[in-house]
Amino acid sequence: MTPQDPIKAPITQDVMTIPRKDAEGDKKNLVGLTRDQLREVLIAAGTPEKQAKMRTGQIWQWLYQWGVRDFDAMTNLGKAYRAMLDETFVIAVPEVVTKQVSQDGTRKYLVRINGGHEVEVVYIPEEGRGTLCISSQVGCTLTCSFCHTGTQKLVRNLTAAEIVGQVMVARDDLDEWPVPGTRTDDGARLLSNIVLMGMGEPLYNFENVRDAMKIVMDPEGIQLSRRRITLSTSGIVPEIARTADEIGCLLAVSFHATTDAVRDTLVPINKKYNIETLLDALRAYPRVANSERITFEYVMLHGVNDSNEDAHRLVELIKGIPAKINLIPFNEWPGSPYTRSSNNRIRAFADIIHAAGYASPVRKTRGEDIMAACGQLKSATERERKSRRQIESEAGIKG
């Protein structure tokens, strides 16, 4: 890359994008459509306009409130109408290929989507709540040098159906759909929170992520409040304001470094949107005005970004932004070019941040025995990966 022209240079030179194939033939999947889209396809299939709103509401409830997958179970629809639906549409969610359960209760699902591609979904149970970590892309076009997903060569955006489908299959596995007709209770849910922190950069798949989250937040369905959804981005600045406007969820940012020189090597998109540009966008995030904190994710890499000076610089940089700093001990993966900072180093770093008045929780590593921890996700069928030398050279590390 030439220093005088950093913007035009591709961030990633080595990614193959894969087209999406619809495996369902002519039948359209109803999952993942917005209410308006659902209404339109029902009308196109012959539903009289006058009934369309009611039918949309009914089908929506069956899909997202009761988790029904079979048109025949939609008992408030007439028999002939159900038969028409069955002939025209499918209700398709990703297929769970494998499920692994960690010693700590974390569940990792490998799910297969159209075209035979696979993504990983992780469920993390905690006291009184549970968080589902979902993926937004197969692989990732960005190549953060410490991230396993970034080494995967194949990339495609997930559809809204495949994104909301991850939530649906997790609810299936947790057996958390209420019995039709009963009240959906507000008690503690097993799946109470969603983080878009799995594979992929969600803001490079904005519309599908937005539509899927709208479905998840809909008051007549899965009903998760926007405050229970956190979208993590590596810092795609132009899409940050849109996230507030069009999704309204909480934001986490993969910050990871306190100088552009270091961030350029760790999070290469920094060459396009540097620290200052990113911080400006975060200051403007409307939720910030309501003191809704932004989470700064910071992966602790031994000898790279973990000095006391880094901690002090970090505090200076984020001044004025309501923030929480989430320190993530680096999770190693086969061939990873970094090692994790020592516990003492992480503690010293956290203490400096804490003393400056910020919450600085150290993220507990969960599900590491099943490679379900942050940054370890990568689909089994797409094992082909860049060589260690390539990863190191992209990270600017001498081999």
For residue 122, give the DSSP letter: E
From ligand SAH, ligand SF4, none, interface partner of 374 (C-beta below 5 to 8 A by class): ligand SAH
C-alpha span between 101 and 107 (Å, rounded): 4
Kindly state the tokens that stand for 58: 């009914």
206 binds ligand SAH (CB under 6 A): no
305 binds ligand SF4 (CB under 6 A): no
Is residue 309 within 8 A of residue 348, CB to CB? The reply is no
From ligand SF4, ligand SAH, none, interface partner of 85 (C-beta below 5 to 8 A by class): none
140 binds ligand SF4 (CB under 6 A): yes
In angstroms and rounded to an integer, the radius of gyration of the C-alpha atoms of the chain is 22
146 binds ligand SAH (CB under 6 A): yes
CA dihedral 330, 331, 337, 338 (to 10 degrees): 30
Determine whether 249 is an active site residue: no
**Comparison of 47 and 208: residue with beta carbon closer to ligand SF4:** 208
Burial of 36 (0-12, 13-18, 19+ CB in 10 A): exposed
330 binds ligand SAH (CB under 6 A): yes
Determine whether 120 is an active site residue: yes
Q: Tell me the number of residues near ligand SF4 by CB under 6 A.
A: 11
* Alpha-carbon separation of residue 275 from 2, 109, 161, 362 (angstroms): 20, 35, 34, 22
C-alpha span between 167 and 169 (Å, rounded): 6
| Identified binder of ligand SF4 from the candidate list 147, 203, 224, 373, rule CB under 6 A | 147
| Identified binder of ligand SAH from the candidate list 118, 162, 211, 297, rule CB under 6 A | 297
147 binds ligand SAH (CB under 6 A): yes
Q: Using CB under 6 A, list all residues that contact ligand SF4.
A: 140, 142-144, 147, 149-150, 200-201, 234, 254
- Residues annotated as part of the active site: 120, 374
Q: Using CB under 6 A, list all residues that contact ligand SAH.
A: 140, 144, 146-148, 197, 200-201, 232-234, 254, 297, 299, 328, 330-331, 374-375
